Amino acid sequence: MSMGLLVQEQPMHFQCIVVEFSSSKLYTKNFFDDVKQRLTKGGVYVTWMDSRIGDKGADIILRSLHQSFKHGVLAYVKGSYFLLIASDEPLLMYQQEAVTTQPELRQNLMEKHAVMSAWLPYQLMTTDLFSLIGKVEGEINTADNPILEFEMARLQNKNFNGFKKRLLAHLSLDEIKTAMPIVGDDFPAPFVLQAKNRLRNSSITRRWKALLPDKKIHKGKSLAELARRKVQAELKNTAKAWHHYAYQLIEVEDYSLAIKTIQHELSLDPSFNDANYNLGVCYELLKQPEKALQAFERELSVDTDDKDVRYRIARLLVKKGKYQQVLVLLNTYIENNGLKRGRAFFYRGLAFHAPGDEVQAKKDLMKAIRLRKSERALANGLHVLGY
């Protein structure tokens, strides 16, 4: 039985009909009208087209579809493969979260395709599909006059560069946002990230990047990456996954939530490398030095070769006046990896200065300022100490 007869003889009505087959007969006005008869009021029809139909073929399909439906939406699947979504009612994203947060869909897309279900709506390109018709006046594809079939038979260059050029010129963030009632704090960065993920460095990706301000993209990328890592952590529930999420929380300066996340990470693996280090960083940034010191000391017990933890501990101990411990820690740190770190020499200089070793103190402090010429705090410190 043909798809046309199947639609004609179907007694039921549907909210949505999706056609995945590829045949010029499925792009005739006759077929579109048959589909429309089987849709409920406000129902949606979904089909597709790709570059193999050419520019004239794209116009034929869109003109024919517009004869049957008043409204149309375009979304990308691949760089030259698009979904055509049509209805007699304006198309908006109702129940957006009901779809994007569906557990099985969320898990399947992330685990098998590394795709964020919450970012699927960002593949929308326009809610004004029929404005992309290049030649409005022209023939319609019908069962009696299958001009699409004739056009594809004589097509030499299988691309629709003219269609894509009109599409890229039409892209509008305001139009997309109007159709999308729910957007995250990371908006509009996911548009670029989703395009990059699905389309690589395509013309669509480049166009979105050109339309969006760099500052918004930079800030939004951090939040978008945070959302992606959170989903991965919730699905995998491993110390490593929570560790990556906590690190991104630190990047966006949510230190309190980072602490809770790291504590969960440590409950899964108490000796996970760098977990206590990151915990100490968070406590230090929240001005809780005692908790920070305890966390750094735990990290050192887990990883005695950690490159930075001795410096972190020493910096906190300077404020506590434990200069001998500072010297031991910084001597090891500088010997192993701190020869070009001005701050390490600065704090060791302070540790020498406190008990009165002015010669060594001056040597370290002057070296610190040479290594960090632009560091005003170091210069001020030297001035206060009389150097």
pLDDT for 6-22, tens place per residue?
Answer: 555 667 899 999 998 77
- With a threshold of 0.85, does the pTM exceed it? no
pLDDT for 283-310, tens place per residue?
Answer: 999 999 999 999 999 999 999 988 899 9
Residue ranges of the chain that CATH labels 3.40.50: 1-92+127-176
Give Cα 338 to chain centroid, integer Å: 35
Check pLDDT > 80 for residue 207. Answer: yes
Cα 264 to Cα 268: distance, rounded to the nearest angstrom: 7
- List CB contacts of 90: < 8 A, sequence separation 6 or more: 71, 127
- List CB contacts of 128: < 8 A, sequence separation 6 or more: 72, 170, 175
Check pLDDT > 80 for residue 30. Answer: yes
Residue ranges of the chain that CATH labels 1.25.40: 317-387
Cα 331 to Cα 308: distance, rounded to the nearest angstrom: 13
Q: Are strands 39-50 and 71-78 parallel, antiparallel or unpaired?
A: unpaired
pLDDT for 95-124, tens place per residue?
Answer: 888 888 899 999 999 999 888 998 898 899
Q: Which fold has domain 317-387?
A: 1.25.40
Q: Which fold has domain 1-92+127-176?
A: Rossmann fold (3.40.50)
Q: 66-70, 154-158, 337-341: which has the highest mean pLDDT?
A: 66-70
pLDDT for 220-274, tens place per residue?
Answer: 788 889 999 999 999 999 999 999 999 999 999 999 999 999 999 999 999 999 9
H or E segment to which residue 46 belongs: strand 39-50
As given in the structure block, the two tokens for residue 300 are 């050192």
